[in-house]
Amino acid sequence: MTEQRFPKGWDEKRVQRLLAELDSRTEEEWVAADEAAAAEQDDQAVVTVPVGLLPEIRRLLAAYKPKSA
């Protein structure tokens, strides 16, 4: 078995606490968290798309080169 590596400041205990917190969230809490995250970004949007389009969307995003400000 390979040794698990964590980002700086993280360990197994911290990961387990985060997983427990996420697993205990209600559907309403997940929606509220998603809405809060979306509201923080003025230059981004959240959309729902058919799963079949994801490969093409990923290809377009990978090729996207934003204009420098």
DSSP string, the chain: -PPP---TT--HHHHHHHHHHHHT--HHHHHHHHHHHHHT-TT-------GGGHHHHHHHHHH--PPP-
Residue 69 inside a domain? The answer is: no
Number of domains in the chain: 1
Residue 7 inside a domain? The answer is: no
| Parent domain of 17 | 12-63
Residue 39 inside a domain? The answer is: yes
Q: What percent of the chain has pLDDT over 90?
A: 62
User: Tokens representing 32?
Assistant: 């509220």
Query: Average pLDDT of the chain?
Result: 89
Residue 68 inside a domain? The answer is: no
Residue 29 inside a domain? The answer is: yes
Residue 32 inside a domain? The answer is: yes
The answer to whether 12 and 4 have CB atoms below 8 angstroms apart is yes
User: Tokens representing 28?
Assistant: 């309403």
Residue 20 inside a domain? The answer is: yes
> What band does 23 get if pLDDT is binned at 50, 70 and 90?
very high
Residue 1 inside a domain? The answer is: no
Read off the pTM.
0.49
Lowest model confidence (mean pLDDT) among 22-26, 38-42, 54-58: 38-42
